[in-house]
Amino acid sequence: MDHIIRVPMGKSNSYLIKGNKGYILIDAGTQNKHENIKCALKRFKANLSDIKLIIITHVHYDHVGSLYQIKKESTAPVLVHTSEQADLANGFTYFPKGTMAFSKAISNISNKFFLSKKQFQPIKADIIIDDSFNLNTYGVEGEVIHTPGHTRGSICIILEGKYCFTGDTMFNLLPGSVYPPFANDEELLIESWKKINSYNCLKYYPGHGKEFDKEKFKISLAKRT
Ligand SMILES: [Zn+2]
Ligand SMILES: [Zn+2]
């Protein structure tokens, strides 16, 4: 999978996908991390202007923190789901609900006290999607699909029918499960997990933590259904 590059961006991951027409960037990390993307591209003798599309899996401060800078320097269009475009344009999103005792506490504290966990530089999206979006025109065999739950407009990317970029629809930080510690609607989240399962991907690339394989996802799904 030489064409998939994970770029640590503070608290979260970004991913670069190398296609026939340049790169697709998935997510934009926390604030002031745009140099990380530049460094990753440099290793492949590329620069920010080689990014042809920026996909935002969902609008949380840890996924759009460096978006303003990256968009400005790359001039690439930004794609988001229609349910997230207003948050992106406003530069503000509430911290999501916790799904476990520890994360419920973090969510409450963050919403009450930490403005930095809700605010970011506002950006106007260029491509607004609904149910799905085909990536062929960007030189990549892939599809963006709507997977609500973590947020209303969360999306995943299915690449070549084998690799799934999950955003925060899955977290790989705990052993034994990739269930996210934060989700605004857990019922919708499970429906989205079933939808993702129907693609039967081999590898999963989460917004937090390292890549994991099909077995870990299947075990996590079985525990919740
Ligand atoms: Zn999130
Ligand atoms: Zn996140």
Say if residues 219 and 197 touch (Cβ distance below 8 Å).
Answer: no
Say if residues 6 and 172 touch (Cβ distance below 8 Å).
Answer: no
Residue 115 has pLDDT above 80, yes or no: no
Domain boundaries, the chain: 4-112+123-161
Query: How much distance in Å is there from the Cα of 206 to the middle of ligand 2?
Result: 9
Residue 116 has pLDDT above 90, yes or no: no
Query: How much distance in Å is there from the Cα of 99 to the middle of ligand 1?
Result: 13
Query: How much distance in Å is there from the Cα of 219 to the middle of ligand 2?
Result: 22
Surrounding residues of ion ligand 2, Cβ less than 5 A: 12, 62, 168, 207
154 token code pair:
């969360």
Q: Distance between CA 189 and CA 166 in Å, rounded?
A: 12
Query: How much distance in Å is there from the Cα of 193 to the middle of ligand 2?
Result: 17
**Which ligand does the CA of 182 lie closest to?**
1
Beta strands in the chain (DSSP E): 4-9, 12-19, 22-26, 51-55, 78-81, 127-129, 132-134, 142-146, 155-159, 163-167, 203-206, 212-213
Question: If DSSP codes are grouped into helix, strand and coil, which group holds residue 78?
Answer: strand
Residue 112 has pLDDT above 90, yes or no: no
Query: How much distance in Å is there from the Cα of 60 to the middle of ligand 2?
Result: 6
Q: Distance between CA 81 and CA 154 in Å, rounded?
A: 7
DSSP H stretches of helix in the chain: 34-42, 61-64, 67-74, 85-90, 101-113, 186-197, 214-224
**Which ligand does the CA of 206 lie closest to?**
2
Query: How much distance in Å is there from the Cα of 199 to the middle of ligand 2?
Result: 23
**Which ligand does the CA of 96 lie closest to?**
1
Query: How much distance in Å is there from the Cα of 150 to the middle of ligand 1?
Result: 7
How much is the average pLDDT of 182-210?
98
78 token code pair:
């930004």
Amino acid of residue 205? Y
**Band of residue 200 on the pLDDT scale cut at 50, 70, 90:** very high
pLDDT digits (tens, 9 = 90+) for 14-56: 999 999 999 999 999 999 999 999 999 999 999 999 999 999 9
Q: Which residue has the tokens 């998939």?
A: 4
CATH top-level class for 4-112+123-161?
alpha beta
To the nearest whole percent, how much of the chain has pLDDT over 70? 100
Q: What is the pLDDT of residue 124?
A: 97
Query: How much distance in Å is there from the Cα of 125 to the middle of ligand 1?
Result: 18
**Which ligand does the CA of 63 lie closest to?**
2
Quote the DSSP letter at residue 118.
Answer: T
Question: If DSSP codes are grouped into helix, strand and coil, which group holds residue 220?
Answer: helix
Q: What is the pLDDT of residue 109?
A: 86
Say if residues 223 and 193 touch (Cβ distance below 8 Å).
Answer: no
Query: How much distance in Å is there from the Cα of 44 to the middle of ligand 1?
Result: 29
Query: How much distance in Å is there from the Cα of 191 to the middle of ligand 2?
Result: 20
